[in-house]
Structure 1
Amino acid sequence: MFSGASAINLDAKGRIAIPKRYRESLHACHNNQLVITVDIQSSCLLLYPIHEWEQVAAKLASLSDTQPTERAIKRMLLGYAHECELDGNGRMLLPPPLRQYANLDKRAMLVGQLNKFELWDEAAWQQQIEQSRIAILNEDLAANERLADFSL
């Protein structure tokens, strides 16, 4: 399970280094293999350990090729999907189309989301956090069935 937000840098070749705290789990449980794709609701990338991606791929396979929205979702997620393996230094290369989609240049944020990571441009991440904070403050959590009993 992945959690926490880590500031990371892209090198001149477009590589990122996964923070050490995640590398052991990625090596032991997923053989250093990840799939990177786009987030269809935000301008960020999603990094799935290979076994998690297999579950996503199974869900995508069940979507229709004739229903336009389902087909568009498949096209985006599968079309951008890129399998990669961490090198000996815990680095992975982000293909140019994926870097462009998320507006990644030099500074980024890698954000654990339990079964996957989000990869954001650092400025976009800060903007997203502020928008999320405002949305939560404006939401009547008690009126939301899924959040009514949620407490920390």
Structure 2
Amino acid sequence: MFSGASAINLDAKGRIAMPKRHREPLHAHHNSQLVITVDIQSPCLLLYPVQEWQQIAVKLSQLSDTQPAERAIKRMLLGYAHECELDGNGRILLPTPLRQYANLEKRAMLVGQLNKFELWDEAAWQQQIEESRIAILNEDLAANQRLADFSL
């Protein structure tokens, strides 16, 4: 399971170095293989260990090709999906279309989300955090059944 936010940089070739604390689990449990795709709700990328992506692919295969919304989701997630492997230095190359989608240039944030990572442009991440904080403050959490029973 992945958690925590790490500030990282893209190099001139469009590569990122996976933080060291994530490299060993990715290597040991996932053979250093990832699938990168776009987030259909936020301007960021999603990085899935290949076994996690296989579960997503099964769900995607069950979506209809005749329902416009389902077809659009399949096109986005599968169309941008890119398989990659950590190199010997723990780096992965982000293809240009994926970097463009998430507006990734130099500074980025890699955010663990249990079974996957999100990869954000650093400024977009900071903006999203502030927007999320405000949304949480303005939300009636008791009205949401799952959140009403959630405590830390």
Task: Report the 3-state secondary structure (helix = DSSP H, G, I; strand = E; otherwise coil) of the residue aligned with 1:72.
Answer: helix
- Aligned AA (1:48): Y
Aligned-partner Cα distance in 1 for 2:9–2:34: 18
Aligned-partner Cα distance in 1 for 2:47–2:144: 29
1:60 matched residue in structure 2: 60
Task: Report the 3-state secondary structure (helix = DSSP H, G, I; strand = E; otherwise coil) of the residue aligned with 2:146.
Answer: coil
**1:49 equivalent in alignment to 2:49:** yes
- Aligned AA (1:71): R
1:11 matched residue in structure 2: 11
RMSD: 0.3
Q: Once the two structures are aligned, what percentage of the paired residues are identical?
A: 88
Aligned-partner Cα distance in 2 for 1:24–1:69: 38
**1:124 equivalent in alignment to 2:124:** yes
Aligned-partner Cα distance in 2 for 1:4–1:44: 16
Q: CA deviation at 1:143?
A: 1.0
**1:96 equivalent in alignment to 2:92:** no
- Aligned AA (2:38): V
Moved over 6 A (4+): none
Aligned-partner Cα distance in 2 for 1:24–1:78: 27
- Aligned AA (2:61): A
> What is the CA deviation profile of residues 79-128 of structure 1, one whole-angstrom value per residue up to 9, with x for unaligned ones?
00000000010000000000000000000000000000000000000000
Aligned-partner Cα distance in 1 for 2:32–2:93: 13
Q: CA deviation at 1:12?
A: 0.1
1:35 matched residue in structure 2: 35
Q: CA deviation at 1:11?
A: 0.1
**1:81 equivalent in alignment to 2:66:** no
Gaps of 5+ in 2: none
TM-score (norm 2): 1.00
TM-score (norm 1): 1.00
- Aligned AA (1:67): Q
**1:144 equivalent in alignment to 2:144:** yes
Aligned-partner Cα distance in 2 for 1:95–1:147: 37
| Count of aligned residue pairs for this structure pair | 152
